Amino acid sequence: MIPTFDPNDPEVLVTLHKYPAGTVFPRHAHVRGQFAYASTGALKMFTDLGNWVVPPQRAIWVPGGVPHEMHMRGDVVMLNTYLDDAAARRAGLQKHCQVFEVSSLLRHLLEAALAIGPSPVSQVRQRCVLTLLVDEIGAMPELPLSAPLPAEPRLARACQRFLEAPRQTISLDEMADWSSMSRRTFTRHFHDSTGMTFVAWRQQVCLLEATARLSQGASITQVALALGFSSSSAFTAVFRRNLGDSPARYLARSKAASLF
């Protein structure tokens, strides 16, 4: 559901929706910024500038006016917090998309915001809860769960082809060939466009896909082999180095935190 807003709406609105696996929201934009929290399931999101993965119990910030496409990986319970510009500024949210950790306090504040009913007493409570909610959003640490996409058309086509079936075994030479460029030209343009080497970008995209697949219940071995890692231990080492924990512990923390 793509929301519409009334000028008289409060500066912060919290909603809850459930989406079956495979639900896709085609390219769209919101007037307000969207802080989308995946209570269960995972999200993948695409914009002109990159792609993002949101594992269970994490959230993504999408600024107002940014066109994006969102895919549900598994059955998703999503709590959206829509913030107007003033609230977004108070939370210190940026003009670009970001994935965030979500604290237990923030999860409970979202739950509290949903439970508030219409009454004079609840209006005071709502102001207090939403004020603290915005403050807690601003305290959340950002997570490295994104990969930039180049604007150059030939590079963009090659990267889209890679995103459709990411693997660690796809070489720089293959990407150069898909881009109709020499290896040297591809290397230079890719780094200029993304700020990353292709090897680093390839690994990041594979980790994003791995996170989404693990969230849907795939085993570590299945994911490692599907994405072209030499072994499950090699995949686990890369995952831990980049995300700070083993795949098993990373997902266990997500499941233990689920509220809804």
**Residue 238 confidence (pLDDT):** 93
Could you give the percent of the chain with pLDDT greater than 90?
75
Q: Where are the domains of the chain?
A: 12-143, 150-256
Q: Which residue has the tokens 């290397």?
A: 187
Banded pLDDT at 9 (limits 50, 70, 90): confident
Superfamily name with CATH number, domain 150-256: Homeodomain-like (1.10.10.60)
H-run or E-run covering 183:
helix 183-194
Task: State the Cα–Cα distance between residues 27 and 54, nearest whole angstrom.
Answer: 17
**Residue 186 confidence (pLDDT):** 96
Mean pLDDT of the chain: 91
Tens of pLDDT, residue by residue over 155-171, are 999 999 999 999 999 99
pTM, entire model: 0.85
Tens of pLDDT, residue by residue over 108-140, are 999 999 988 666 667 888 889 999 999 999 999
Residue by residue, DSSP assigns 79-102 as EEEEE-HHHHHHTT--SS-EEEE-
Fold classified for 12-143: Jelly Rolls (2.60.120)
